[in-house]
Chain A
Amino acid sequence: MPEQDHLTVTVQRGGPDAPLQPQTFQVPAYDNQTVLDVVSWIQQNSDPTLTYRFACRVGMCGSCAMMVNGVPRWTCRTHVGKVSKGGAIEVGPLRNLPVIKDLAADMDPFFDKWVAAEGMHHPTRTRHDAIEAIDPVASDRQEANAGIECINCSVCYSACDTVAGNPDYLGPAALQRAWTLFNDAKDADRDTILDAVSGKGGCHSCHSMGSCTTYCPNELDPLSAILGLKRATAKRFFGGRK
């Protein structure tokens, strides 16, 4: 049996036209309950106008991230028992992104920056060529593998104070994507990637505070990816090879 039969849940509500205002709800407490369950309970039982976003509920799709007690988290895999403080939790929209309404953040800037960081495939071959054989134990491949499980949830982007202070900064997820492609034997344009991450708001804006790596729900390490990009650009500057 839970210690208390109710949780006190404070939800930050608002949107572009109305500044965020806290609203408190009493939600039945259960032994096993995620933050997303709690938000859904409010929407289904207390206030149907509460806006939030989710899809898969199993930590695959990356759409349900929210701020929970000041930390960005994937709410579908965040157990209430792990984050509640004396039976209270505070939930808000992801930081560093515009709010569409209530808990739904506008992800456009986040995805625009993936493109700006050249987070796109530059093919080495056409569809008419044979598929390139990839050596799974090559060190390049290991570097790329380390970052490819990103689910685009924007937790790292919301955790980052450099993003908060510098609107041009591409952010950890986009830069990690650039690093995986830079290390991908099937990517033909490494110089374009390095150019894209060397401009305004590129990898050199990072201050290695590591909130991305600390809070990534998939336990990825964008900080090391960004350090890799810095090293690659410095090497290129000194005329060395990759």
Chain B
Amino acid sequence: MTEFHLYMAQRLSALVMAPFVIVHIGVMIYAIQGGLSAAEILGRTQGSVFWFAFYGMFVIAVSIHASIGLRTILGEWAGLRGGMRDGASALIGLGLFALGAQAVWAVTA
């Protein structure tokens, strides 16, 4: 994985996420009307193939995007270099994916 490939992965995951984020903001504005409840959220999402695919792809894209972004910040602002930095950002990506996958499963299964 070269710097260029990381750059492309960062930009392509951003392109994938742009429509997701717009829908996500729209759903948030819609959902908070009259307060949030677990029943309301789960009523919308549980058993829905659409929301499973939507949030599933969102989680994959954000794990890639955030881990590459944090890798840059770890290098520029925390002075991490080489394998330490790559290892840390890979762990962050995997951790975000695991937590995100669990959350998607929890609200859509």
Binding site for B on A (CB under 8 A): 162, 165-166, 198-202, 204-205, 230, 233-234, 237
Beta-carbon nearest neighbor of B77 in chain A: A165
Q: Is B105 an interface residue (CB 8 A)?
A: no
Q: Is B40 an interface residue (CB 8 A)?
A: no
Contacts of A230 in B (CB 8 A): 7
Binding site for A on B (CB under 8 A): 2-4, 6-8, 11, 72, 75-77
Known: A162-B76, A165-B76, A166-B76. A205 touches B3 (CB 8 A): yes
Please tell me if the beta carbons of A202 and B8 are within 8 angstroms of each other in the complex.
no
Contacts of B7 in A (CB 8 A): 204, 230
Contacts of A198 in B (CB 8 A): 2-4
Please tell me if the beta carbons of A166 and B3 are within 8 angstroms of each other in the complex.
no
Contacts of B3 in A (CB 8 A): 198-202, 204-205
Of the A-B pairs whose beta carbons lie under 8 Å apart in the complex, a sample of 14, sorted by A's number, is A162-B76, A165-B75, A165-B77, A198-B3, A199-B2, A199-B3, A200-B3, A201-B3, A202-B3, A204-B4, A204-B7, A205-B3, A230-B7, A234-B11
Beta-carbon nearest neighbor of A233 in chain B: B4
A228–chain B nearest beta-carbon distance, Å: 15
A199-B6 Cα distance, complex, nearest whole Å: 11
Given contacts A198-B2, A198-B3, A202-B4, 14 further A-B contacts (CB under 8 A): A165-B75, A166-B75, A199-B4, A201-B3, A202-B3, A204-B4, A204-B6, A204-B7, A205-B72, A233-B4, A234-B8, A234-B11, A237-B4, A237-B8
